[in-house]
């Protein structure tokens, strides 16, 4: 990555790329399948898409999953002996920890696609807005690649959305009450076995 950025800088060009955020330990059931604006994957996509120069968002396998058959897209639920102390585990995580607008207990995986920034040290042709004549675009000092910074911003955006979802589901008037609500919920999400 460093070599590619150095080469682009020497050529007077810029680079884009993808940045990826992972959230582990996210409980099952955040978000909602009931309304379009309460779906957690939609909220995450909006938050990441709001980052400057982001032109695409992908949850889990995203576009690659769309190109294959269903047998290669879905995440098989494992039996309890494979759970490692966590309720409900999947064999894979192609859904990126989200199904039907809700978290499924697997890591939440979100990717953003960032376009190369527009300010080039070797400017492209442009047009004078007053005269309509062709000119060279104005150059101001700029970075060559903002993908590393976008990753940090992306982590913050994903954390904000997940924190809001946690408070919506388990909220209370204090952190102690929120934790108590969460622990009570967590005790109910195992398999429903007949007694």
Scored b (16 or more CB within 10 A) or e, 42-74 reads bbbbebbeebebbeebbbbbbeebeeeeeeebe
The fold of the 2-125+136-186 domain, in CATH, is: Chorismate synthase, AroC fold (3.60.150)
The pLDDT tens digits of the residues spanning 82-127 come to 777 777 888 899 999 999 999 999 999 999 999 998 877 777 788 8
Q: Comparing 23-32, 41-50, 121-130, which segment has the lowest mean pLDDT? A: 121-130
Q: Where are the domains of the chain?
A: 2-125+136-186
Percent of the chain with pLDDT over 70: 96
Nearest to 91 by CA among 108, 104, 75, 69: 75
Give 190's pLDDT tier (boundaries 50, 70, 90): confident
Give 22's pLDDT tier (boundaries 50, 70, 90): very high
Nearest to 96 by CA among 76, 75, 119: 75
Give 136's pLDDT tier (boundaries 50, 70, 90): confident
pLDDT at 47: 98
Q: How many residues does the chain have?
A: 195
Instruction: Say if residue 96 is exposed, middle or buried (CB neighbours under 10 Å; 0-12, 13-18, 19+).
Output: buried
């Amino acid at each position: 990555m460093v070599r590619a950025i150095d080469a682009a800088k020497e050529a007077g060009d810029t680079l884009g790329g993808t940045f990826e955020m992972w959230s582990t330990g996210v409980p099952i059931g955040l978000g909602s399948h009931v309304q379009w604006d309460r779906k957690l994957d939609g909220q995450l996509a909006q938050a990441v898409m709001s980052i400057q120069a982001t032109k695409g968002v992908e949850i889990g396998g995203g576009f690659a999953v769309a190109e294959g058959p269903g047998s290669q897209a879905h995440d098989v639920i494992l039996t309890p002996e494979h759970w490692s102390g966590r309720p409900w585990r999947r064999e894979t995580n192609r859904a990126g920890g989200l199904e039907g607008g809700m978290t499924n207990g697997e890591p939440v995986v979100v990717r953003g696609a960032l376009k190369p920034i527009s300010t080039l040290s070797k400017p492209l042709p442009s047009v004078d807005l007053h005269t309509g004549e062709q000119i060279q675009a104005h150059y101001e000092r700029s970075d060559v690649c903002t993908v590393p910074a976008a990753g940090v911003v992306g982590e913050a955006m994903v954390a904000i959305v997940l924190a809001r979802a946690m408070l919506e589901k388990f909220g209370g008037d204090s952190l102690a009450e929120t934790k108590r609500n969460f622990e009570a919920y967590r005790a109910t999400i195992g398999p429903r076995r007949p007694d």
